[in-house]
Amino acid sequence: METTGRSHGLSPGKDTLSQTFPGICNSQMACSASSVSSSDQTKSSQNEIENIDSLVSKWDDVRFIAISGKRKSGKDYFAKVLHDEIQEKLRLTAVIVHISEPIKRAFAEEHNLDLSELMSSSSYKERYRRQMVRWGEKLRRSDATVFCRKALQYLDEDYPVKPSVVIIADCRRPSDLEYFSSLNKSTPLLHLRVVASPATRKARGWTYSSGIDNAETECALDTASFDVLVVNESKRTLDLSLKLVKRALNGNHLRKAATI
């Protein structure tokens, strides 16, 4: 049940952003305040608040698991391992979502790119990463959690049956953690930090790139607290980490410690 890139009915070109993110106006979208009456603005704001409240209440009994980590640390791989473990061993419905999917969907439309490749870990995605990061940051500055909300909206559209567990495979900022923490007041967000040595990451295709690896998208959660440190160096360390995650899911107390 992992989410993947999919086709959608947005028209390519300048209107893509306004269709995908109607609540955000910037110079690129040429939204004119003078063209909208004050009553229309008030009504629109009320509708947006109602939609947000409805979205929050929909997920208030779902367990959220946030995964963060550096490029090529294996976030997506571990998300899939955890997803299968939850479904097969714990007998709970689980889905994987990516905060980056709404960014990539709109970016692909506006620049006529292959969405499925942007959603993968291919060299194609790396070719456009820097441009896509800058592009997404412009939108995020207007609304820090816009992509978090859109990711859940797409999930809601794709899966009519609400899952028991939602795994967010690519948390990158404190605002991401804060948003998903706010959705379920009774069950705390479980934050998993995936790590791997530089040598292991290089073996997976990582090379340091200034402007990417030292940017906020890679570093904003470096000092954030986490619940379990997932060491993705080998099958042994990953299995040990998975055991700790399962203990945390069962509500057992954990000490934050590496599992190598």
pTM over 0.85: no
Q: What's at 119, amino acid-wise?
A: M
Residue 49's pLDDT is 46
Q: How many residues does the chain have?
A: 260
The string of DSSP codes covering 93-130 is -EEEE-THHHHHHHHHHHHT--HHHHTTTSHHHHHHHH
Structure-model confidence comparison of residues 59 and 193, the more confident one: 193
Domain ranges of the chain: 54-250
Say which range, 16-30, 76-90, 136-150, has the weakest mean pLDDT.
Answer: 16-30
> 192 pLDDT exceeds 80?
yes
One of 3.40.718.10, 3.40.50.300, 3.90.650.10, 3.50.50.60 is the CATH number of 54-250, namely 3.40.50.300
In one letter, which amino acid is 132?
M
171: tokens are: 């948390």
Nearest to 166 by CA among 55, 52, 13: 55
Which one is predicted more confidently, 124 or 62?
A: 62
pLDDT band at 51 (very low <50, low <70, confident <90, very high): low
Q: How far apart are CA 122 and CA 144, in angstroms?
A: 27
pLDDT digits (tens, 9 = 90+) for 52-97: 555 567 898 999 999 999 999 999 999 999 999 999 999 999 999 9
pLDDT at position 123 is 85
What pLDDT score does 3 carry?
39
Question: Environment class of residue 143 by beta-carbon count within 10 Å: exposed (0-12), middle (13-18) or buried (19+)?
Answer: middle
| Cα separation, 89 vs 71, whole angstroms | 29
* 35: confidence class by pLDDT, cuts 50, 70, 90: very low
pLDDT of res. 130? 86
3 state SS of 23: coil
- pLDDT for position 52: 52
Q: Is 90 exceeded by the pLDDT of residue 241?
A: yes
| Most confident range, picked from 37-51, 134-148, 204-218, 219-233 | 219-233
**Cβ neighbours of residue 141 closer than 8 Å, sequence gap 6 or more:** none
Q: Is the pLDDT of residue 48 over 70?
A: no
Backbone phi and psi for residue 139, each to the nearest 5 degrees, phi listed first: -70, -40
Beta strands in the chain (DSSP E): 63-69, 94-97, 165-168, 190-195, 228-231
Better-predicted residue by pLDDT, 146 or 8: 146
Question: What is the rounded distance in angstroms from the CA atom of residue 106 to the CA atom of residue 100?
Answer: 10
d(CA 21, CA 17): 6
pLDDT of residue 213: 94
Q: Which amino acid is at 183?
A: L
**Cβ proximity of 194 and 73 under 8 Å:** yes
The mean pLDDT value for 28-38 works out to 43
Cβ(171)–Cβ(221) under 8 Å?
yes
Among 175, 10, 30, smallest CA distance to 105 is for 10
CA distance 244 to 239: 9
User: What pLDDT, on the 0 to 100 scale, is given for residue 121?
Assistant: 74
Name the residue with higher pLDDT: 139 or 227.
227
Across residues 42-57, what is the average pLDDT?
Answer: 53
pLDDT over 60 at 185, yes or no: yes
